[in-house]
Chain A
């Protein structure tokens, strides 16, 4: 039973991620909609939402343009009713924007919404703070280059890319830059993108009085999802449009990328919140396009999808992202991420054999935490590390033949 469930999820998301299985049926359906005999896009009943106070209305599913090597995906997406395309100044060294420019030059300007993200020039990666080199001038020069690549006079939404602190969000040079971009007509609307400390950044957007849109990471596995919902509601009240990214939480439940998430369910989950205008799942093949575009017509979660999300979230609470920050704090320099992984195998996947094998490979001392007085480890996920180490390493006392 468990294997069947897993296989089904794997099938669903492998196709979504361009993996092993190909959803021929869904591709055929997409092709039917792409044919000349298909009804025009505007006759479809697409679910649409307003983007804050911008005056833009969008279908709830948009497209994250992830690669520059397949031009054909863009017109195919437009045929399904997707109109909003998200790119960035830095994607593929600018080739992503160039590809979009080649496509969009053949379409009326009012038939698509394009958003690009321009990064501040100098960011301290450790603190997320902007350095003095992050000038308005440097930002606007990059915007000009993006517009040239896109072959456009303006973008519909311009984001400051990758903001992770309140200070960075309110950095005067960035506020000046986006104001100037808007005043000059090179950006119709301005915002920020964030995938770290999102609630703090969204609150800063509300307080700024400048940003109109926030592109934020949000998904069913976030520990602070309720906090996110709350601040998103505040943003919506303030007239700020919210666009979701990273809805698929990396696509896999495990570090080894063997246990895929039900991506369609994950996308629908985020869109249950009507304050989220649209999401920009990365789309790199026609199967993914068909699957994501179908959500534009039906966002309701099936019981099966709810069950998949519940199962995925449960494992999520055990998932160690492997940041390695704990290792240097451990007096015994234990391979803590690997031990946490063994813990997840045991209590998340119920696979004691795999956990045993992993632990056996680590060359651990017996009862590794027993003679430490105070644990100096601080886990960024808040895991009770010593308790979990003591609990799971008991497995090493069990001979492997007992685990068959």
Chain B
């Protein structure tokens, strides 16, 4: 019986890991009047992503990259718009990768979850897809075409267009717009900190506020404990929740708290009073959602 169960588990894991089970997105490139569309034969996967984006592939793999389809829209001999359709394991992963490349100062437009435009570039996030559109052609016509292709793709992919809800748990006061990121691994350079949501704050010297959503209370406890071991010499406050204040060797002042499966904190905020008010704010927000106590 045990053998049968383990065989089923292994079988399921193989089937789920297999590219054959992935949704086919080969027909995802919409036609667009006046432009011909050609899709590259090669579909990139985690094993050959290096071939197309070289060292940048490392980061995509950290974020559960599934596959990349490339389409080319052509008009005449010289005009080409290239579309790269990156698919990820989850919406959060796609957001994470998108947020690694997003700059809060970009000109944002309303396509998908969010899009931004720079000269010759239009990138957007929609559900578990991160779409990059680029061209060497300059001028309004190319810009209009890129925008129309983006809207059409967004419509065709039929994804849920919302940011991860957990971002709402980050305090709003003095938060720099569009600075939120999801860091899948090695947050603050520590291997035990994973699945971190972080945003930049402040009008003067910037600081960061983060929220880690561990898989379980035990996992959060373990990560919290490892941090204290790795960054000793701080002060603890266990009167209400696990709370620790330290000047971390690498990352500067950190106020950190654990509640349930969540770990939250401030980084680089010297004003401890302000840090604690942010911590209290985030704890109130955490209390509005069910904790994972498994």
Contacts and interface: CB of A to CB of B under 8 A. Distances in A.
B192 interface: yes
Interface string B182-215: 0101111111100000100000000000000000
Nearest to A76: B250
Given A22-B226, A24-B229, A322 B188 contact: no
B55 A245 contact: yes
Interface stretch (A89-97, A307-315, A369-377): A89-97
Contact of A28 (B14, B59, B230, B251): B230
Contact of B15 (A133, A246, A361): A361
A303 B274 CA distance: 54
Interface string B34-56: 00000011110111101111111
B54 A162 contact: yes
Contacts of B10: 353-354, 357
B240 interface: no
Contacts of B109: none
A73 interface: yes
A69 B251 contact: no
B188 A287 contact: no
Contacts of B41: 126
Given A284-B185, A323-B47, A357 B7 contact: yes
Given A68-B100, A92-B100, A284 B56 contact: no
A121 B135 CA distance: 11
Contact of A67 (B51, B59, B229, B230): B59
B50 A195 contact: yes
Interface string B226-251: 10011000000000000000000111
B181 A69 contact: yes
B136 interface: yes
Contacts of B47: 250, 255, 321-323
Nearest to B20: A335
B19 A70 contact: no
Interface string B95-110: 0000011110000000
Contacts of B187: 69-70
A27 B192 CA distance: 12
Nearest to B70: A125
Q: Which of B11, B43, B186 has the most CB of A within 10 A?
A: B186
A21 interface: yes
A299 interface: no
B58 interface: yes
B42 A285 contact: no
Nearest to B45: A322
A70 B189 contact: yes
A360 B15 CA distance: 10
B18 interface: yes
Nearest to B101: A93
B166 interface: no
Contacts of B158: none
A19 interface: yes
Contacts of A287: 191
Contacts of A146: none
A91 B58 CA distance: 10
Interface residues of B, number: 52
Nearest to A21: B191
Interface residues of A toward B: which range? 35 or more
B103 A93 contact: yes
A321 B48 contact: yes
Contacts of A338: 18, 20
A24 B230 contact: yes
A358 interface: yes
A360 B54 contact: no
A34 interface: yes
A92 B229 contact: no
Contact of A286 (B15, B183, B189): B189
Given A256-B17, A354-B10, A125 B48 contact: no
A358 B14 contact: yes
B3 interface: yes
Nearest to A321: B47
B226 A88 contact: no
Given A67-B59, A88-B55, A322-B45, A95 B190 contact: no
Interface in B247-268: 249-251
A192 to B, nearest CB: 12
Interface string A181-221: 00000000000010110000000000000000000000000
B197 to A, nearest CB: 12
B181 A27 contact: no
Nearest to A35: B249
A22 B54 contact: no
Contacts of A324: 19, 43, 45
26 contacts: A24-B230, A34-B250, A64-B55, A66-B58, A69-B183, A73-B250, A76-B189, A92-B59, A93-B101, A93-B103, A93-B123, A125-B51, A126-B40, A193-B54, A245-B55, A255-B46, A257-B46, A282-B58, A322-B47, A322-B48, A323-B48, A324-B43, A337-B19, A357-B10, A357-B14, A400-B7
Interface of A: 15, 18-19, 21-24, 27-28, 31, 34-35, 64, 66-70, 72-73, 75-76, 88, 90-95, 117, 121-122, 125-126, 133, 161-162, 193, 195-196, 245-246, 250, 255-257, 282, 284-287, 289, 321-324, 335, 337-338, 353-354, 357-358, 360-361, 400, 404
Given A19-B185, A22-B190, 17 more contacts: A21-B191, A64-B55, A67-B100, A67-B186, A93-B103, A125-B51, A126-B40, A195-B54, A255-B17, A255-B47, A284-B186, A284-B189, A285-B186, A321-B48, A323-B47, A338-B20, A357-B7
Closest 8 A/B residue pairs (Cβ)? A72-B250, A93-B101, A285-B186, A18-B186, A18-B185, A22-B191, A357-B11, A22-B192
